[in-house]
Amino acid sequence: MQIEKNIAATLRSEMERQGKTLMEFSTELGIPRSTLQGYLKGTSHPRADSMEELAYKLGISLADLVSGGTAANMRAAWMRSFWRPRLCTPAQCRW
């Protein structure tokens, strides 16, 4: 399915951009290494709620995660230059 391939492309390019190993990237995302391997191979994909969490942790929109395009990478790089995702969700943070 195309969504699996797009998610794989987005995750792979982000992992390469950060220069992280599979283990480092899976730890950063908070998912098991074997799960990340499945996503990268395109043999599995995250559930909808997990996709939202992955996009949040990567600092991109859900649409960018599933599109797999370079626009997602360009937008993510631009956002990171100004903004770093919080370590807590809005519900957990007390402002």
Q: Is residue 49 part of a domain?
A: yes
CA distance 5 to 56: 19
In the chain, which residue ranges form alpha helices assigned H by DSSP?
A: 2-18, 22-29, 33-41, 48-58, 62-67, 70-82
Q: Is residue 8 part of a domain?
A: yes
Say how many domains are in the chain: 1
Q: Is residue 91 part of a domain?
A: no
Structural domain boundaries enclosing 78? 2-82
pLDDT of residue 56: 87
Whether pTM > 0.75 for this model: the answer is no
From first to last of its 95 residues, what are the pLDDT tens digits of the chain? 688 888 899 899 888 888 899 999 999 999 999 999 999 998 888 888 888 888 888 888 888 888 875 555 556 566 665 555 555 555 665 54
